[in-house]
Chain A
Amino acid sequence: MTVPVYEMKGVTKRFGSVVALDRVDLCLHPNEVVGLVGQNGSGKSSLMKTMAGVQSPDEGQMLLRGESIRLKSTVDAAKRGIGLVHQEQSLITNLTVAENIFIDKSCDFFKHGVYRWGDLLRAARKQLEKIELDIRPDLLVEKLSFAQRQMVELAKALALEEMVTEDLVILFDEPTSMLSGPEIEALFKQIRRIRDRASVVFISHRMDEVLELSDRVYVLSDGRQVAERPKNEVDADELFELMVGRQRTVAVRAPRTRASLQPVPRIELKDYRVGTIGPISVTVGAGEIVGLIGVQGSGAETLCRSLFGLEATFSGQVLFDGKPLSVNSPTQAMKMGIGYVPAERKTEGMLASMSIADNMTLSFGFDYAYAGTLANRTRERVEADLWAARLKLKAHTLDDPISRLSGGNQQKAVLGKWLMSRSLKLLILDHPTRGLDPAARADLFQSMRELAEEGLSILFVGDTLDEVILLSDKIVVMRDGQVSETYLDVARETPSEKSIVRAMV
């Protein structure tokens, strides 16, 4: 039995109260390609980052070629022959391709701080030829397409080949999510080629890719490694099932007293396009909760942002309460009665340095002003206190800084900001449960249901399958910028998690 190249034993990583990795074991043999699958937020990327030295684990052991290691940084990892091909681009776009390939490596052609451009470009060209990438090494990265940049990332990782004597460990974090057919083929060809000198871990959302490429597949769910399967003993169906996870605590769908199964449409999208997304046709009724779900890059987030006027102008037919809608800015969207709770709560949802009350009254405080012009702080505050109580926002006083609250209570304050509006008709929530603990999540769900009962239309992007199944009246699954499946009446015919996953990937 050969010594594994890279081994993780009981690796745990926490971010605050959230456990990203929970005692994960993983083993990588020489010249092996291992696939890593799991839902969004199952810990795949976190595991990759830990393996590549971007973050260090809180507990557990990492063994490289049989030796226990502690990676100080990505540079440290690179010296030991571990390269990460990032999901997000890690190239400095205003430098050349050549510089990017060698930026994190100590090379002769940077010696004494003076560049030897000729040597640098020659070396870079060699790396590009290795992966059959026909671009000039002296181009600025910003001039390249996303696919080309992804390949440059690969070249950057594979340049380790000549610098490390041992075999490499190359980690691919969803390298195909931005690529199309021929580009994916080119990438796979490279992955197969480097097997002679490297062991590979490969993350993808597409099962067929994983099965095509890998010798073994690991399944992550909720930060745990739940299964390990050799390629020829598993099929896509079983992987779906494993991804969906252990039977977790079965939360019950709360009954809804919807007035009718065919509510009056609040917003109707027909042939909706924005950027590369569309055509999409979706209807959200008055008092209806519609859950959107899709893997990263499926377009669900973009759809939400564009309806709030944050993206490029959309095209197609959009009827809002039966009238054509055009939204170019958040201000316009708010005038129409559309609210948006962003996924990036800390940067887009709240002003961290201000108080809870100030955050809640930020957008609609002037709805309560004297003659609509002079702020009426007392009335604003009364209203904010009312909503805080209704949303079960736990705070000593609303004068406390919002940054002092837990994630769940912060989210309640952000939600409260929109509910202060007297004309809110449609509330869009982008990953509203991100970073919330189960109790806060339950509170949020209850509030969303109550609001829908009162006639508010809700469109939300779900983080997990069970959350869209639990909460939605209607589920819309998105894939590659289009609607791949719609479940019209979730209450009566609840779709299985498996069938949703199948529509997602």
Chain B
Amino acid sequence: MQRQSDRLDISSERSSYIGQVMDVKNYRVRDWGAILALIVLMAFFTAAGSNFASLNNLQALVESSAIPVIAVIGITFVMLQGSIDLSVEGVASLACIVTSLFVANSVTSSHNLGLALVVALGSGLLLGLINGLMYSKLKIPSLIVTLGMWFVARGAATYLFPSRQPQILDPMLMSVALDKHFGLSGIVYVAIVLLIIAYFIQSKTRIGRLSYGIGGDEALCRLAGLRVDRIKIAVFVMSGFLSSLCGVLLTAQLGVGNPRGGDGLLFPSISAAVIGGTLLSGGKGGVFQSVVGVLILSVIRNGLQQIGVDPLLTQVVEGATIVVAVVAGSWHMRTKLRVAK
């Protein structure tokens, strides 16, 4: 009898452990809202659009989501803590230029892919570290720190831009974007691998779990003797690194070094995180939810194109989407004295 109950105990232990990994039990109806919205949107465009559900178009959809997914992973951890990283575009642009100058290209005599990766990704790590240090040690709002960093990196990228636009001549780098395996480029596979790693960090490491804790109640975390600053710095370093990786991959995709290469990355990543259910105040959300957010935005953009809506109007819909998502996501939190800033 005793034995049996022991065994039962172990099995229930396992099921709850798996439950944790899937995070399913801790879901609520509103957490499913984003996935539901994605399904509805896809169904809508399939019904309305001539070409939406075609294999070609779905491949294009996934392809266009890959780089935003990488950016959103970093942003998600930052936002879980209740902070924000606005420097994504700047850091990506800088990495884009740096990469193009160090690999084989049409302007400089350098042709060293390894060095290019080290310098480009190193710049992302460094800028992320500076963001994290300024934010946590000087206790300046991350909004301001990273806003400054955005322009510092952007300025540096412009400064480094040579007189002629460097064309990428490195076949290895180009192949990441051009060679398709099972119909998808290397960038998509990079994004998938990073997503898996990010999920591991989110659910199975101290950094990930305490990012939730810090977003939930930073003061309590400090009272519990946790090294909050280290965790804050770590996620900013991670976000900087991922932003610069986006820059490298964008270089491969564009085939040129562009000092504005990262532009257009910030809006989809922050709004994707928010649409997916990550609260700006922190403590809620996760990488998978954010990926759903990226997909929603991609589907909207792609689907509207398919049914022939003016591309300029697409932005209107995207902007409205993020507002609607925030209203829906925080509806339950309205109280009389709630202050929204």
Contacts and interface: CB of A to CB of B under 8 A. Distances in A.
Interface of A: 54, 73-75, 90-96, 99, 103-104, 110, 113-115, 117-118, 121-122, 125, 136-140, 143, 309-311, 329
Given A95-B212, A118-B17, A103 B224 contact: yes
Contacts of B216: 92-95
The A interface is mostly helix, strand or loop, or mixed, namely: loop
> What 5 A-B pairs have minimum CB-CB distances, sorted nearest first?
A75-B225, A104-B224, A94-B216, A113-B206, A94-B283
B221 interface: yes
A311 B213 CA distance: 28
Contacts of A143: 26
Contacts of B26: 139-140, 143
Interface in B1-51: 13-14, 16-17, 19-21, 25-26
B284 A122 contact: no
A90 B220 contact: yes
Given A92-B216, A309-B336, A121 B224 contact: no
Nearest to B226: A103
Contact of A113 (B205, B224, B283, B337): B205
A60 to B, nearest CB: 23
A426 B13 CA distance: 59
Contacts, number: 81
Contacts of A139: 25-26
Contacts of B223: 54, 73-74, 90, 104
Contacts of B19: 138
Contacts of B25: 138-139
Contacts of A125: 13
18 contacts: A74-B225, A91-B220, A92-B212, A92-B217, A92-B221, A94-B212, A104-B223, A114-B205, A114-B206, A115-B203, A115-B206, A117-B204, A118-B14, A121-B13, A121-B16, A138-B17, A139-B25, A140-B26
Contacts of A75: 224-225
Given A103-B213, A114-B206, A310 B337 contact: yes
B225 A73 contact: yes
Contacts of B206: 110, 113-115
B215 interface: yes
A138 B16 contact: yes
B204 A115 contact: yes
Nearest to B216: A94
Contacts of B212: 92, 94-95
A489 to B, nearest CB: 36
A94 B16 contact: no
B207 interface: yes
Given A104-B225, A113-B207, A329-B336, A96 B13 contact: no
A135 to B, nearest CB: 11
A174 to B, nearest CB: 19
Given A92-B213, A114-B206, A310-B336, A138 B225 contact: no
A93 to B, nearest CB: 6
A139 B207 CA distance: 20
B260 interface: no
Nearest to A89: B220
Interface in B188-228: 203-207, 209, 212-213, 215-217, 220-221, 223-226
Contact of A121 (B17, B213, B220, B221): B17
A380 B64 CA distance: 61
Given A75-B224, A92-B216, A121-B13, A115 B336 contact: no
Given A94-B283, A114-B204, A136 B215 contact: no
Given A73-B225, A96-B20, 5 more contacts: A74-B223, A91-B220, A95-B216, A110-B206, A138-B25
